[in-house]
Amino acid sequence: EAGVTQFPSHSVIEKGQTVTLRCDPISGHDNLYWYRRVMGKEIKFLLHFVKESKQDESGMPNNRFLAERTGGTYSTLKVQPAELEDSGVYFCASSRQPPRQGQNSPLHFGNGTRLTVT
């Protein structure tokens, strides 16, 4: 099966501009997650979709970030307007079920989008 794909792989934008990241999960995976790793820091949870519904967006940094998953297939994450501190690698992951305790429902990560805001 095809893995999680993310586009673009790299994006360099200026402060104040808008960027939209796209994630195509593995087919049949209802659960889709966005994570972010800022340079030198840990990978942090941003939000979780089940199909087209946002289950938890508690990790979203602020209202400049907007995630959508229309139709429950691919997802987009828009940053508008971008700030310098938004630079980092944005990972998308998907799973058939949430990784509950005792169940082997691993998250499959995409290769990430490296965002640089100058």
Residues at the contact surface with another protein, assessed by CB under 8 A: 4, 9, 31, 33, 35, 40-45, 48, 55-56, 59, 91, 93, 98-102, 104, 106-107, 109-112
Q: Cα angle vertex 103, ends 102, 106, to 5°?
A: 125
Distance in angstroms (rounded) separating the CA atoms of residues 56 and 52:
12
**Of 83, 55, 69, which Cα lies nearest the Cα of 22?**
69
Report, in Å, the least distance between residue 71 CB and another protein: 21
Report, in Å, the least distance between residue 72 CB and another protein: 16
Six-digit token pair at 33?
């997650």
Q: Which is nearer to another protein, 17 or 107 (CB)?
A: 107
Q: Which is nearer to another protein, 65 or 91 (CB)?
A: 91
Report, in Å, the least distance between residue 116 CB and another protein: 15
Distance in angstroms (rounded) separating the CA atoms of residues 56 and 50:
9
Q: Which is nearer to another protein, 17 or 74 (CB)?
A: 74
- How many other C-beta atoms are found inside a 10 Å radius of the C-beta of residue 84? 10
